[in-house]
Structure 1
Amino acid sequence: MGSEGPADTTADRTDDFPGDSASRPPRTTSWPPRTTSRLFRRGHLVACVAVLCGVGMVVAARLPATVGGFGSLLQTFLPWSGAGVLALLALAGARRSVVAAVAVLLPAVVWCSLFGGMVLDKRGGGGDLTVVSHNVHDGNPDPPGTARSLAASGARLIALEELSPRTAPVYERALADSYPYHSVQGTVGLWSVYPLHDVRPVAIMPWTRALRATVDTPKGPLAVYTAHLASVRAGLTKGFDTARRNEAAARLADAVRAEPLDRVVVVGDFNGTTDDTALDPVTGGLRSAQDEAGAGFGFSWPASFPVARIDQILVKGVTPVSAWTLPRTGSDHLPVAASLRL
């Protein structure tokens, strides 16, 4: 009798589901597919930031002038929130998140509703009068060159701010041939190819930083105000201090509201943008030439890398047909220009 050999282990192996493959239950697939599910699970942090950004833009655009000028500070640089929207969109793409991409639509729509019209080119032709306004900076190293650059623009009216006893006579001499009519009141001046009359200072501050003049254009009289509102101050104790500027804006607004002429142009360095609700007393009753007839935001300060348009050309009773900035001069501001139909 021989001993039994080793058992055939092959016969003892069994499958979890014996039988042929046809008898096995089909493998189930999750729904939604795992890849799609991940697209919806990712990017929730980006989505939350996007929603906060959109709500924040809405609030900032309507924020009144608050203690420390916080509202003015936000509104001055609010157009740059568009860069944040682009960054959020890039993050949503990097995360490959559907939720984040949809959420970014909120700040994108808000930004477009606030500033979308600014990026369009609305410039036209056929204006009757070109106006230039420029804060020439009292430390400008080349006033004659600045004057020649402004005169080369072909403007019929040139308004200058931040003149000084040293520089005002230089501009008077440099512009005399092209602009036979002019008036300097304190630190502001107006040069014109048309006669000026009823010129007087406007008391917006303890010293003269604004004037009013009637310009006798070929199409009738035009009231022109040139103003340099008080500068803002930034500091640890006072924050973004706009109190003096806001007071000057209110006084300028009172003068413009009392103006008897129907056609009015208000130009100058406002040390604030038209988005700043603290300047509503002035800008509320006037229209911005850049907003209506410009291309882009027309940032004017600082000249080396403009981030805000604090130099304005505002109108009432006339139609802006084009608005733009002129090339850099020796000032820390860019000159701003507009063509108007009277």
Structure 2
Amino acid sequence: MAQQAYATETDNGGSGPERPGARLRSLLKRWAAGWRDRRIWRRGLITAAVALVLAVVLAGHARIPNRIGNLGSLTETFLPWFGLLLPVLLVIALVRRSATALIALVVPVCVWLNLFGGLLFDKNGTAGDLMVATHNVNAENADPAGTARAVAASGADVLALEELKASAVPTYEKALSSTYGHHAVVGTVGLWSKYPMSDVRAVDIRLGWQRAMRATVATPSGPVAVYVAHLPSVRVKLEAGFTARQRDTSADALGEAIADEKLPAKILLGDLNGTMNDRALRAVTSQLRSPQGAVGDGFGFSWPASFPMARIDQILVTGVEPQSSWTLPETGSDHLPIAARVKVDTPGS
């Protein structure tokens, strides 16, 4: 009798294995029915408002003032990550069965794709006659020789290193000597090249110590002015916000030096402690372009190495044609190295 009762209960859907499926079908039917009533236009108004605010922030980030804690620059540093809110809002809109929220969500999706959609695809090519790379090696790097060998193995023709500790410079020089026949170190930055270098000099970025340099690299396709820079770090403090005044002052000075450069082909390599979206770097970014946006491989985030969240290490060019750009594998530093291929076609080459 017990077995017969159990079978009857199962057949009726009381507690048998088909019951969870029936419950799911019931939930889906109720959810689908919710789209057929008029409340779909009244539900989710808050979600719709959040979506429109997000669109305004994405489209108008340049108008967010820096007067209060450099809020504008802070927003622009992590601007791509605002896209993570889009799937969250989509799920909320679907759960709430809100047509208003879904329509409103189209606006920030379009704005985000316009800003960053091109970075979702690998546009790397194989052309280019000059490969350059840059790496903030971290002054506290426990394995400078290993880091040097790793970046040299990338095949870069010209390599810039930043945050060079004086005591570690001989280690880097020794590790790189077999690959690069020419190099120069100025303060805490250095440049290694397979091609002859001349007119090497420090660049004053108004710090009181040397963290920037320039050199003429005699590539087979013509001379290129190569700049290496490590702009001051920025900090996020509760009482002061995004503090970057020293970085901004140095960026302006670096921009002036690049503007005064006589050679038409220019490449800037270094840790700028800012992204291409950060308006504080406009003195530099208004003159040079990043290969990452045109021929890069994804977003190319370079910091922190363990979980990259922003591309603050930059390769910027003018007078040469970018062909590809990518990040290199992690080393003993807290930054990822980045590399790019360019085509040098200077007058008279």
Q: Which residue of 2 aligns with 1:71?
A: 72
1:172 and 2:173 are equivalent in the alignment: yes
Distance of 2:57 and 2:265 partners within structure 1: 38
If the length of structure 2 is used for normalisation, what is the TM-score? Answer: 0.87
Letter in 2 for 1:302: P
Distance of 2:103 and 2:148 partners within structure 1: 52
Distance of 1:264 and 1:65 partners within structure 2: 30
Question: After superposition, where does 1:184-263 map in structure 2 within 5 Å?
Answer: 184-204=185-205, 205-263=207-265
Letter in 1 for 2:81: W
Residue range with higher mean Cα deviation, 116-125 or 129-138: 116-125
3-state DSSP of counterpart to 1:184 = strand
3-state DSSP of counterpart to 1:169 = helix
- Contact 2:125/2:324 (CA < 8 Å) preserved in 1? yes
Question: After superposition, where does 1:120-199 map in structure 2 within 5 Å?
Answer: 120-199=121-200
Distance of 1:300 and 1:62 partners within structure 2: 26
- Contact 2:291/2:316 (CA < 8 Å) preserved in 1? yes
Q: Which residue of 1 aligns with 2:9?
A: none
Tell me which of 327, 333, 336 is aligned to 1:334.
Answer: 336
Render the CA deviation track for 1:8-54: whole Å, top value 9, x for unaligned. xxxxxxxxxxxxxxxxxxxxxxxxx9933132222111111111111
Q: Which residue of 1 aligns with 2:309?
A: 307
- Contact 1:224/1:264 (CA < 8 Å) preserved in 2? yes
Q: Which residue of 2 aligns with 1:14?
A: none
Question: After superposition, where does 1:261-276 map in structure 2 within 5 Å?
Answer: 261-276=263-278
* Structure 1 residues 264 and 41: alpha-carbon distance in aligned structure 2, compared to 1, 3 A threshold: same
1:64 Cα deviation from its structure 2 partner: 5.2
Runs of 4+ in 1 over 4 A off after TM superposition: none
3-state DSSP of counterpart to 2:94 = helix
Residue range with higher mean Cα deviation, 207-216 or 117-126: 117-126
3-state DSSP of counterpart to 1:222 = strand
1:102 and 2:118 are equivalent in the alignment: no
1:302 Cα deviation from its structure 2 partner: 0.2
* Structure 1 residues 118 and 34: alpha-carbon distance in aligned structure 2, compared to 1, 3 A threshold: closer
Render the CA deviation track for 1:86-120: whole Å, top value 9, x for unaligned. 21111111112111100101111111111111212
- Contact 2:35/2:97 (CA < 8 Å) preserved in 1? no
Render the CA deviation track for 1:222-275: whole Å, top value 9, x for unaligned. 000000001112223322111000000000000000000000000100000000
- Contact 2:230/2:270 (CA < 8 Å) preserved in 1? yes
Residue range with higher mean Cα deviation, 46-55 or 128-137: 46-55
Q: Which residue of 2 aligns with 1:29?
A: none
Distance of 1:64 and 1:193 partners within structure 2: 45
* Structure 1 residues 62 and 129: alpha-carbon distance in aligned structure 2, compared to 1, 3 A threshold: farther
3-state DSSP of counterpart to 1:125 = coil
If the length of structure 1 is used for normalisation, what is the TM-score? Answer: 0.88
- Contact 1:201/1:208 (CA < 8 Å) preserved in 2? yes
Question: After superposition, where does 1:84-99 map in structure 2 within 5 Å?
Answer: 84-99=85-100
Identity across matched positions, percent: 53
Letter in 1 for 2:135: H
1:164 Cα deviation from its structure 2 partner: 1.0
Distance of 1:91 and 1:219 partners within structure 2: 56
- Contact 2:290/2:314 (CA < 8 Å) preserved in 1? yes
From the CA coordinates, give the structure whose radius of gyration is larger.
Answer: 1
Distance of 1:97 and 1:185 partners within structure 2: 60
Q: Which residue of 2 aligns with 1:279?
A: 281
| Alignment length (residue pairs) | 310
Q: Which residue of 2 aligns with 1:43?
A: 44
Distance of 1:61 and 1:94 partners within structure 2: 33
Render the CA deviation track for 1:183-219: whole Å, top value 9, x for unaligned. 0000000000000000000011210000000000001
* Structure 1 residues 157 and 312: alpha-carbon distance in aligned structure 2, compared to 1, 3 A threshold: same
- Contact 2:270/2:313 (CA < 8 Å) preserved in 1? yes
Distance of 1:149 and 1:221 partners within structure 2: 27
Cα RMSD of the aligned pairs, angstroms, is 1.3
Distance of 2:287 and 2:35 partners within structure 1: 58
Render the CA deviation track for 1:58-87: whole Å, top value 9, x for unaligned. 222443543421111000001001001121
* Structure 1 residues 144 and 97: alpha-carbon distance in aligned structure 2, compared to 1, 3 A threshold: same
Letter in 1 for 2:214: R
1:126 Cα deviation from its structure 2 partner: 1.3
Unmatched 5+ stretches in structure 1: 1-32
Residue range with higher mean Cα deviation, 255-264 or 122-131: 122-131
- Contact 1:65/1:277 (CA < 8 Å) preserved in 2? no
- Contact 1:62/1:277 (CA < 8 Å) preserved in 2? no
Distance of 2:35 and 2:90 partners within structure 1: 24
Unmatched 5+ stretches in structure 2: 1-33, 345-349
Distance of 2:37 and 2:109 partners within structure 1: 25
Distance of 2:221 and 2:63 partners within structure 1: 39
